[in-house]
Amino acid sequence: MAEVAESPADRGTASPRPLFAGLSDISISQDIPIEGEITIPMRSRSREFDSSTLNESVQNTIMRDLKAVGKKFMHVLYPRKSNTLLRDWDLWGPLILCVTLALMLQRGSVDSEKDGGPQFAEVFVIVWFGAVTITLNSKLLGGNISFFQSLCVLGYCILPLTVAMLICRLVLLAEQGPINFMVRLFVVVVMFAWSIVASTAFLADSQPPNRKALAVYPVFLFYFVISWMILTFTPQ
């Protein structure tokens, strides 16, 4: 502990002195260990956050990621010009959607190899390589979006088409016929337009204005191919 040579209180009756004037009279005979926490209010929250995710329950971890994915799904379903999808990108949503779509699209029975719909691997390859190609195209044209942000947006905007696939599967349980086909066509066309609108809302701003159409056309082709695969799906 410090030993104070003189107490500043003894001088209380004298004339008023400037603040901290008596500190120069204090002599400290040994080192004072300085300890304690230096915390900045905002940082402390995140540091506590980071250090404690190791100890939280598995349910918390999973729920946090699921909530992030769900929030992005909402952004896709109601596309507004916001950059929530872009800021915190993640690829969980695209993976879930791609696996769901591929599982539903693959041909079930063991008919001849050549004459069928796409296999699981084909759908997977088309979705991921298509997204990578579009991202590369966008970056080569001079866009200022990062690689994974673009993959994230393109993957999340498959959500309307996955919903269309679910609806088509349900509609196909009814009897086949031209009305059946018209209903499926209408659903797929509406969801295709929704996907394009959603992805354009996020991606169009990243390109210079004289190249927007060049960057949007491959997106159009990509979703057209996926819509075609959904529309021509026939159960065995």
Residues of the shown chain interacting with another protein in the complex, contacts defined by CB under 8 A? 111-112, 114-118, 122, 137, 139-142, 210-214, 217-218, 221, 224-225, 228-229, 232-234
DSSP code at position 54? T
Least spacing, CB of residue 106 vs another protein, in Å: 10
Least spacing, CB of residue 218 vs another protein, in Å: 6
Q: Residue 88 or residue 111: which is nearer to another protein going by CB?
A: 111
Least spacing, CB of residue 162 vs another protein, in Å: 18
Are 153 and 203 spatial neighbours (Cβ–Cβ below 8 Å)? yes
Least spacing, CB of residue 221 vs another protein, in Å: 6
Alpha helices in 78-211 (DSSP H): 84-87, 92-105, 120-140, 147-156, 159-172, 178-203
Q: Residue 174 or residue 225: which is nearer to another protein going by CB?
A: 225
Which amino acid type is present at position 158? I
Give the DSSP H or E segment for 231: helix 212-231
Least spacing, CB of residue 128 vs another protein, in Å: 16
Least spacing, CB of residue 92 vs another protein, in Å: 28
Other CB atoms within a 10 A radius of the CB of residue 207 amount to: 19
SS3 14: coil
Q: How far is the C-alpha of 118 from the C-alpha of 55, rounded, in Å? A: 44
Q: Residue 153 or residue 229: which is nearer to another protein going by CB?
A: 229
Q: Residue 186 or residue 228: which is nearer to another protein going by CB?
A: 228
Are 222 and 131 spatial neighbours (Cβ–Cβ below 8 Å)? yes
Q: Residue 52 or residue 232: which is nearer to another protein going by CB?
A: 232
What does each C-alpha distance from 94 to 37, 113, 206 come to in angstroms? 42, 28, 20
| The length of the chain, given as a count of residues | 236
Q: Residue 89 or residue 223: which is nearer to another protein going by CB?
A: 223
